[in-house]
């Protein structure tokens, strides 16, 4: 392991431990409102200050980590697998199948899925538990987020079919399924890793944006996405740099993931 | 030649059919979503019961999606794209007035995004220094983690053009794919052989790397057009740019069916053209039949 | 020599005349510049204006343009709340409240030079009362079945007769911008201080001084002072604030409370808090019998004791302090105390006590079990509050109320929905439990809210379109509202509406939360601004504003 990878490991471990130990590190919890100290700067009592409703920001970052770190990668994995199946198989089969799959992909890219999400919210009861709501949100994101990678995977798989080693394998009589899983899929890994890595922060941010449709994490439960939405008051938070901590944390975690994954990417290359 | 013409005709027909299907699906999504029949004007306490009913009756005209879409297609053939429910103006005028700004924004934004992508990805793939790789990862990761609305606000704060915000939204997505594809291409055995034989870097890049990665990069480029279109919505809304992105958001909030259908048709057309062009060029580069 | 002297004299005379003429011209221009040359005022509209036809105005942006361009017969002075002559020099409302007669100004021209007369007023009223128009402006005049008659007595006199009494008839003409019946420019020919000079969809509207505007100031100078007004379309409040701070905008008509404090910290002279506005924010429960919510929840919501207990458990002081940074007043009842005449001053502040609220619920048969409140049948008291997404104040109020009710064992789920979905639930499917929404641009006259208080109306939001009043108190409110609408005696009308306010506070169909303050920001370059609580707060006297050159 390189020095960077060791550092990434330490960071991720610290973040994970912090989120697990949130009950001890922030015993007041994420929902307690200190109404006499709203929008307060950092202090001994509140390490990252309080939000506009007097809730401890440090506690909300810790508890929000659980939701985002658990569910965003799960959704990213779902979208990556779907992209691999749809794009990879379409490219491998080629011909009319590839054309149809890509037409469907292009439609998926163009349609206003906002309305499907609104319909999904309408189908859920208003009193659904926050955990169910957020799980449904991330699941929907995973189901809709495969299109970019699918296109690239289709092209990559199609390119591979013309490569020498695939032709040799075919000439040697390797059955289609084995050819696909042993020779094609491993060569799709660079794209799959890219898709997975990009999807995590994208889904974290999308979850927050879906709050306007009633999806996503319900109050008072925090998530990184909802914490990042504070940055939209950018004009007025220039003098409040502690509000950038959730962003810095997200960047650090995502970069750490990527540094750790880079070994796999190297091997895939 | 005749075979080629048939092929082109076939592709064009498939394109048109997909675009029309996109319009129909979009109309269906909008129609079935809750809030279609709702109009916030109904909440005005000054309106009489008859006026409220008139508002509801006006919405009922587009209740049947298929009937609406058929009549839309008939009128579209004569150039009449309908009238926006929210803005009360002909959709054709709205799109015509706003399209140039959005197209300019997207073109410049995408050009900047790809300039940044290729510069950083090529250098990362070529140098293979872990420090540099981590740095570029951190830079692209940072922009990936910043909400699009915040990037748009930053561009307003710093008086930067909206196209820069679009570039910074798109670049982190394209960078990772490009970087991984280029790293893979550079690690191929024949590249190592070429280097060992003393071939110059420029020759290796243009003769041996570019042909290999071009089809996939073009696929990413095609998809980046859709990303840019999506990014245009918050950027135009926040930067006060009267483009199609801003119009799309207003239309979505108001459940403006005529406007939404037209915008979807336009976006589908742009997406299909971008991706189809990428596919065609990719096939040509690979020496395969289109 | 003599010829030279004569030539020199001629030359001197000519020069002198030229200089005199030049100085006269300069003086004229300078005088003109001093009299006009008020600069360009710049501010933002939050949404795209939907129409420039003043009769069809339904949204705030179009209303702002109507205010600045439309000439009206009478004007409500936004500062004094009194009625002032506009295009009408005098008017008289008949005893039965059905007829209003106007005596109009003479010699007034539309912006395109077309003369203004009583015929134009008749034309405007006929257009306004067209049943096919369906506009809030026109519907405000509809009091009964039948046609409106306009009688042009002379070019400067007109009488308008309505089929039934219209309460507050004269004040309603503040919203009626007079159109020309003869101009080819239709609604673009205006009588107000400004005309629409340019419109860039999605970007901006430019208004220019109307050269034919009839009004002059006390010194006889023509109004408006401003050369032009530029209205940029900008929905985002952060960007609006940024542009104001950079000097690109001259005023923010409705400033968010959190930005008020931030701006006040650096430039206190730029911000204005005019006090409690007429706007209110309220919570209400779904009392519709046919709604798809569980029957036991309907029983809770239809109980006045339950509603009163909930009201008592909500800390309105905290809502005002935490959500609005102190720039709001806890609401007392349906009308804000800022409505000096109509507010029932006998109403006291709403009480706050979690203990008293819990006691009241326990008296209703509710009980606490392990920190959770249950009804007499053992159902946990859990309900959802929905509100429209994008309104951060409502979202925050919902979260504070969630916390307040948690203290008495009630679990609240806060759900923010996009506005069309919310409206559909509220008005069509009735698939909701509780809502937080607000009333904005509230009329001074309670008649403007007839459709809220009448039980048969669309906007009787907690239980609309009742065939017959389902409760005795709603029947009483119906009677009182009709009584005040059919009376022309202000004292009798006030008595009736005072009683309506008392009933509403007793029964709490709306749990009124707060009345927001009217906050605004005006740059130092603007002269003559005097922000008020009535809309439009900052540019109500736009014709007398000037902007100093930068």
**Tell me: the pLDDT tens digits for C423-433?**
999 999 999 99
- The strand pairing partners of C439, in sequence order, are C280
On the CB side of A181, how many CA atoms lie within 13 Å of its CA?
Answer: 3
Residues C361/C353, Cβ–Cβ less than 8 Å: no
Give chain C's length. 550
* Burial class (CB within 10 angstroms; exposed 0-12, middle 13-18, buried 19+) of A262: buried
Cite the DSSP H helix spans in C46-117: 60-69
Alpha carbons B268 and A108: distance in angstroms, whole number: 9
Residues of C in contact with B45 (CB under 8 A): 439, 448-452, 459
Alpha carbons B85 and C176: distance in angstroms, whole number: 24
The answer, yes or no, to whether residue A150 has pLDDT greater than 50, is: yes
Residues C107/C90, Cβ–Cβ less than 8 Å: no
> Which residues lie below 8 Å from residue B63, measured CB to CB, with a gap of 6+?
B31
Query: Mutating which of C129, C130, C420, C424 best tests the B interface, going by the most B Cβ atoms within 10 A?
Result: C420
Mean pLDDT rounded to a whole number for chain C = 91
Residues of B in contact with A249 (CB under 8 A): none
* Tokens at C191, concatenated: 């009588």
* Burial class (CB within 10 angstroms; exposed 0-12, middle 13-18, buried 19+) of C16: exposed
> Which residues lie below 8 Å from residue C179, measured CB to CB, with a gap of 6+?
C54, C55, C120, C123, C124, C127, C186, C187, C189
For C53-90, the pLDDT digits (tens) are 999 999 999 999 999 999 999 999 999 889 999 999 99
Whether the CB of A209 is below 8 Å from some CB of chain C: the reply is no
Enumerate residues 126 to 165 of chain A having a beta carbon within 8 A of any beta carbon in chain C.
Answer: 126-128, 130
Which band of pLDDT confidence, cut at 50, 70 and 90, is reported for residue C104? very high
Asked if B98's CB is within 8 angstroms of C201's CB, the reply is: yes
Looking at the complex, report in whole angstroms how far the Cα of residue A214 sits from the nearest Cα belonging to chain B: 12
Q: What are phi and psi of C475, to 5 degrees?
A: -65, -40
Alpha carbons B153 and B155: distance in angstroms, whole number: 5
Which letter does DSSP use for residue C188 in this model?
G
In this prediction, residue A213 carries a pLDDT of: 74
Cα separations in angstroms, A174 against A153, A162, A219, C25: 22, 15, 55, 99
Query: Mutating which of C164, C168, C201 best tests the B interface, going by the most B Cβ atoms within 10 A?
Result: C201
Residues C510/C439, Cβ–Cβ less than 8 Å: no
Which letter does DSSP use for residue C196 in this model?
E
Find the residue in B nearest to A265 (Cα): B180
Which letter does DSSP use for residue C56 in this model?
G
For B4-20, the pLDDT digits (tens) are 778 778 878 888 898 99
Cite the DSSP H helix spans in chain A: 3-20, 22-25, 57-83, 89-93, 95-110, 114-123, 130-144, 147-161, 164-171, 176-178, 185-209, 224-228, 234-237, 245-268
- Please name the helix (run of DSSP H) or strand (run of DSSP E) that holds residue A181, with its range, or none: none
- Tokens 């069916």 belong to residue: B257
C208-230 mean pLDDT: 96
C141-146 mean pLDDT: 85
- Candidates A151, A258, A269; nearest CB to B183: A269
The answer, yes or no, to whether residue C495 has pLDDT greater than 60, is: yes
In this prediction, residue B289 carries a pLDDT of: 47
What is B168-212 written as a DSSP string? HHHHHHHHHHHHHHHHHHHTSHHHHHHHHTT--HHHIIIIIIHHH
Find the residue in A nearest to B265 (Cα): A110
> Which residues lie below 8 Å from residue C224, measured CB to CB, with a gap of 6+?
C38, C193, C194, C209, C210, C213, C542, C543, C544, C545
A231-236 mean pLDDT: 71
- Candidates A152, A197, A228; nearest CB to B220: A152
Q: What are phi and psi of C521, to 5 degrees?
A: -135, 135
Which band of pLDDT confidence, cut at 50, 70 and 90, is reported for residue C316? very high
Asked if A127's CB is within 8 angstroms of C421's CB, the reply is: no
C321-339 mean pLDDT: 94
The answer, yes or no, to whether residue A235 has pLDDT greater than 80, is: no
Alpha carbons C314 and C323: distance in angstroms, whole number: 13
- Please name the helix (run of DSSP H) or strand (run of DSSP E) that holds residue C92, with its range, or none: strand C88-93
Alpha carbons B290 and C3: distance in angstroms, whole number: 99
Which band of pLDDT confidence, cut at 50, 70 and 90, is reported for residue C20? low
Looking at the complex, report in whole angstroms how far the Cα of residue B33 sits from the nearest Cα belonging to chain C: 8
Alpha carbons A2 and B130: distance in angstroms, whole number: 9
- The strand pairing partners of C280, in sequence order, are C439
Whether the CB of B177 is below 8 Å from some CB of chain A: the reply is yes
Whether the CB of A199 is below 8 Å from some CB of chain B: the reply is no
Residues of B in contact with C452 (CB under 8 A): 45
Asked if B55's CB is within 8 angstroms of C202's CB, the reply is: no
Residues of B in contact with C423 (CB under 8 A): 35, 38-40, 42-43
In this prediction, residue C452 carries a pLDDT of: 93
Residues of B in contact with C391 (CB under 8 A): none
- Candidates B52, B242, B243; nearest CB to C458: B52
Which band of pLDDT confidence, cut at 50, 70 and 90, is reported for residue A219? confident
Q: CA B167 from chain center: how many Å? A: 13
Asked if A231's CB is within 8 angstroms of B215's CB, the reply is: no
Asked if A194's CB is within 8 angstroms of B26's CB, the reply is: no
- Subunits next to C (3 or more Cβ pairs <8 Å) are A, B
Residues C78/C532, Cβ–Cβ less than 8 Å: yes
Residues of C in contact with B245 (CB under 8 A): none
Which letter does DSSP use for residue B64 in this model?
S
Residues of A in contact with C321 (CB under 8 A): 35
For C249-308, the pLDDT digits (tens) are 999 999 999 899 989 998 999 999 999 999 999 999 999 999 999 999 999 999 999 999
In this prediction, residue C22 carries a pLDDT of: 55
For B255-281, the pLDDT digits (tens) are 899 999 999 999 888 888 888 888 878
> Which residues lie below 8 Å from residue C543, measured CB to CB, with a gap of 6+?
C193, C213, C215, C223, C224, C225, C226
Query: Mutating which of B35, B45, B50, B52 best tests the C interface, going by the most C Cβ atoms within 10 A?
Result: B45
Between chain A and chain B, how many beta carbons pairs sit less than 8 Å apart? Answer: 174
Whether the CB of B13 is below 8 Å from some CB of chain A: the reply is no
* Tokens at B176, concatenated: 């990772």
For C383-422, the pLDDT digits (tens) are 999 999 889 999 999 999 999 999 999 999 999 998 999 9
Which band of pLDDT confidence, cut at 50, 70 and 90, is reported for residue B180? confident
- Subunits next to A (3 or more Cβ pairs <8 Å) are B, C
Q: What is the phi-psi region of residue B158: left when phi exceeds 0, alpha when psi lies from -120 to 50, beta otherwise? A: alpha
Enumerate residues 238 to 257 of chain A having a beta carbon within 8 A of any beta carbon in chain B.
Answer: 247, 250-251, 254-255
- Candidates B14, B176, B218; nearest CB to A103: B14
Give chain B's length. 290
Choice among A156-160, B280-284, C38-42 with the minimum mean pLDDT: B280-284
Looking at the complex, report in whole angstroms how far the Cα of residue A178 sits from the nearest Cα belonging to chain B: 23
Looking at the complex, report in whole angstroms how far the Cα of residue C448 sits from the nearest Cα belonging to chain B: 6
In this prediction, residue C1 carries a pLDDT of: 45
- The strand pairing partners of C374, in sequence order, are C367, C380
What is A112-176 written as a DSSP string? -THHHHHHHHHHS-TT--HHHHHHHHHHHHHHHTTHHHHHHHHHHHHHHHTSHHHHHHHHTT--H
* Tokens at A11, concatenated: 């960071």
The answer, yes or no, to whether residue C4 has pLDDT greater than 60, is: no
- Candidates A109, A155, A205; nearest CB to B282: A155
- Candidates A4, A151, A262; nearest CB to B219: A151
Query: Mutating which of C416, C420, C432, C433 best tests the A interface, going by the most A Cβ atoms within 10 A?
Result: C416
For A47-76, the pLDDT digits (tens) are 999 999 999 999 999 999 988 888 888 999
Q: CA A231 from chain center: how many Å? A: 19
Looking at the complex, report in whole angstroms how far the Cα of residue A241 sits from the nearest Cα belonging to chain C: 15
Angle at B284 between CA B279 and CA B285, to 5 degrees: 100
Residues B46/C451, Cβ–Cβ less than 8 Å: yes
Which letter does DSSP use for residue C448 in this model?
G
Q: Is the peptide bond before A220 cis (omega within 30 degrees of 0)?
A: yes
| Of C155, C190, C160, C157, the residue nearest C173 (C-alpha) | C160
Q: What are phi and psi of C351, to 5 degrees?
A: -75, 155
Residues C118/C152, Cβ–Cβ less than 8 Å: yes
Alpha carbons C494 and C342: distance in angstroms, whole number: 6
Q: CA A205 from chain center: how many Å? A: 8
- Candidates C236, C418, C427; nearest CB to B238: C236
Residues of C in contact with A237 (CB under 8 A): none
- Candidates A4, A198, A262; nearest CB to B173: A198
Query: Mutating which of C144, C175, C236 best tests the B interface, going by the most B Cβ atoms within 10 A?
Result: C236
Q: What is the pTM of this model?
A: 0.90
* Tokens at B106, concatenated: 């997207």
C483-498 mean pLDDT: 92
> Which residues lie below 8 Å from residue B8, measured CB to CB, with a gap of 6+?
none
Residues C193/C223, Cβ–Cβ less than 8 Å: yes
Alpha carbons B113 and B172: distance in angstroms, whole number: 8
> Is C521 in a helix, a strand, or coil?
strand
The answer, yes or no, to whether residue B61 has pLDDT greater than 80, is: no
For C506-535, the pLDDT digits (tens) are 999 999 999 999 999 999 999 999 999 999
Enumerate residues 204 to 223 of chain A having a beta carbon within 8 A of any beta carbon in chain B.
Answer: 204-205, 208-209
């Amino acid at each position: 392991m390189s020095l960077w990878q060791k550092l990434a490991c330490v960071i991720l471990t610290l973040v994970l431990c912090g989120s697990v130990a949130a009950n001890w590190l922030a015993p007041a919890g994420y929902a307690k409102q200190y109404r006499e100290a709203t929008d307060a700067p950092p202090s001994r009592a509140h390490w990252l200050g309080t939000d506009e409703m007097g809730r401890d920001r440090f506690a909300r970052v810790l508890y929000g980590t659980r939701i985002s770190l658990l569910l965003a990668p799960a959704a990213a994995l779902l979208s990556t697998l779907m992209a691999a199946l749809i794009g990879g198989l379409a490219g491998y089969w080629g011909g009319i199948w590839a054309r149809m799959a890509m037409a469907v992909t292009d439609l998926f890219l163009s349609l206003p899925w906002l309305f499907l999400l609104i319909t999904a919210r309408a189908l859920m009861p208003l009193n659904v538990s926050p955990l169910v709501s957020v799980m449904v949100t991330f699941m929907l994101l995973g189901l809709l987020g495969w299109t970019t990678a699918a296109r690239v995977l289709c092209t990559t798989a199609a390119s591979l079919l013309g490569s020498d080693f695939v032709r040799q394998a075919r000439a040697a009589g390797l059955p289609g399924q084995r050819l696909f899983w042993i020779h094609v899929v491993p060569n799709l890994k660079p794209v799959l890793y890219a898709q997975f890595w990009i999807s995590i922060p994208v889904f974290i941010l999308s979850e927050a944006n879906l709050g306007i449709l009633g999806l996503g994490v319900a109050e008072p439960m925090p998530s990184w996405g909802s914490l990042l939405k504070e940055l939209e008051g950018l004009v007025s938070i220039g003098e409040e740099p502690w509000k950038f901590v959730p962003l810095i944390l997200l960047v650090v975690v995502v970069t750490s993931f990527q540094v750790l994954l880079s070994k796999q990417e190297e091997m895939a290359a | 030649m005749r075979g080629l013409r048939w092929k082109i005709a076939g592709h064009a027909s498939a394109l048109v059919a997909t675009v029309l299907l996109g319009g129909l699906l979009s109309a269906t999504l909008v129609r079935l979503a809750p809030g279609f029949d709702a109009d916030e004007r109904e909440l005005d306490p000054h309106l009489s019961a008859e006026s409220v009913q008139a508002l509801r009756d006006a919405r009922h005209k587009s209740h049947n999606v298929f009937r609406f879409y058929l009549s839309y297609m008939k009128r579209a053939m004569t150039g009449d794209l309908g009238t926006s429910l929210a803005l009360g103006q002909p959709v054709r005028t709205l799109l015509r007035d706003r399209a140039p700004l959005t197209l300019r924004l997207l073109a410049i934004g995408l050009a900047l995004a790809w300039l940044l992508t290729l510069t950083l990805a090529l250098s990362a793939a070529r140098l293979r220094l872990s420090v540099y790789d981590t740095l570029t990862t951190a830079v692209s990761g940072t922009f990936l983690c910043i909400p699009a609305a915040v990037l748009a606000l930053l561009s307003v704060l710093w008086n930067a053009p909206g196209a820069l915000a679009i570039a910074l939204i798109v670049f982190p997505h394209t960078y990772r794919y490009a970087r991984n594809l280029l790293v893979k291409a550079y690690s191929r055995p024949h590249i190592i052989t070429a280097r060992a034989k003393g071939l110059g870097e420029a020759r290796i890049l243009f003769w041996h790397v570019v042909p290999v990665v071009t089809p996939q990069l073009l696929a990413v480029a095609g998809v980046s057009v859709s990303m840019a279109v999506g990014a245009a919505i918050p950027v135009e809304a926040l930067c006060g740019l009267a483009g199609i992105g801003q119009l799309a958001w207003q239309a979505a909030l108001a459940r403006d069916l005529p406007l939404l259908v037209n915008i979807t048709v336009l976006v589908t057309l742009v997406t299909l053209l971008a991706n189809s062009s990428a596919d065609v060029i990719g096939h040509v580069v690979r020496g395969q039949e289109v | 020599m003599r010829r030279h002297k004569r030539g020199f004299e001629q030359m001197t005379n000519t020069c002198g005349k030229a200089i005199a003429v030049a100085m006269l011209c300069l003086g004229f221009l300078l005088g003109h510049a001093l009299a006009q040359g008020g600069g360009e005022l710049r501010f933002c509209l939050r949404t795209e204006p939907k129409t420039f036809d003043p009769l069809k105005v339904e949204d705030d942006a179009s209303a702002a343009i109507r205010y600045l361009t439309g000439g009206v017969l009478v004007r409500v002075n936004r500062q004094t709340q009194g009625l002032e002559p506009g295009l009408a020099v005098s008017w008289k409302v008949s005893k039965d409240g059905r007829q209003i007669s106007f005596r109009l100004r003479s010699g007034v021209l539309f912006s395109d030079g077309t003369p203004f007369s009583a015929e134009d007023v008749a034309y405007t009223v006929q257009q306004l009362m067209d049943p096919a128009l369906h506009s809030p402006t026109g519907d405000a005049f509809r009091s009964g079945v039948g046609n409106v008659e306009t009688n042009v007595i002379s070019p400067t006199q007109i009488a308008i007769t309505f089929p039934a009494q219209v309460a507050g008839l004269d004040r309603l003409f503040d919203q009626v911008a007079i159109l020309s019946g003869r101009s080819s420019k239709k609604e673009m020919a205006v009588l107000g201080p400004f005309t629409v000079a340019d419109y860039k969809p999605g970007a901006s509207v430019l208004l220019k001084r109307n050269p034919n505007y009839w009004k002059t100031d006390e010194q006889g100078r023509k109004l408006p002072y401003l050369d032009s007004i530029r209205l940029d379309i900008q929905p985002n409040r952060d960007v609006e604030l940024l542009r104001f701070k950079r000097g690109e905008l001259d005023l923010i008509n409705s400033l968010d409370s959190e930005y008020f404090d931030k701006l006040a910290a650096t430039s206190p002279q730029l911000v204005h808090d005019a006090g409690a506005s007429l706007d209110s924010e309220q919570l209400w429960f779904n009392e519709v019998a046919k709604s798809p919510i569980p029957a036991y929840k309907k029983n809770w919501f239809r109980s006045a004791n339950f509603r009163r207990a909930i009201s008592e458990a909500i800390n309105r002081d905290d809502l005002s302090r935490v959500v609005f940074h102190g720039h709001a007043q806890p609401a007392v009842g349906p009308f804000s105390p800022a409505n000096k005449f109509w507010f029932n001053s006998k109403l006291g502040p709403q009480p706050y006590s979690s203990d008293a609220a819990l006691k009241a619920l326990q008296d209703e048969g509710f009980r606490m079990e392990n920190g959770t409140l249950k009804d007499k049948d053992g159902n946990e008291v859990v309900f959802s509050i929905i509100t429209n997404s994008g309104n951060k104040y409502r979202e925050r109020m919902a979260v504070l109320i969630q916390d307040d009710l948690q203290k008495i064992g009630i679990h609240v789920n806060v759900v923010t929905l996009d506005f069309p979905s919310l409206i559909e639930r509220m008005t069509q499917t009735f698939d909701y439990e509780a809502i937080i929404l607000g009333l904005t641009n509230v009329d001074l006259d309670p008649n403007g809210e007839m459709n809220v208080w009448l039980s048969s109306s669309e906007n009787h939001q907690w239980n609309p379109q009742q065939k017959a009043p389902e409760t005795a108190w709603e029947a009483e409110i119906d009677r009182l509202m009709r009584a005040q609408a059919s009376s022309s005696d202000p004292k009798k009308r006030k008595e009736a509406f005072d009683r309506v306010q008392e009933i509403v506070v007793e029964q709490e169909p709306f749990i009124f939360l707060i009345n927001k303050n009217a906050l605004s920001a005006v740059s130092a370059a603007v002269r003559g601004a005097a922000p008020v609580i009535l809309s439009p707060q900052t540019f109500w006297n736009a014709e007398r504003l000037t902007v100093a050159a930068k």
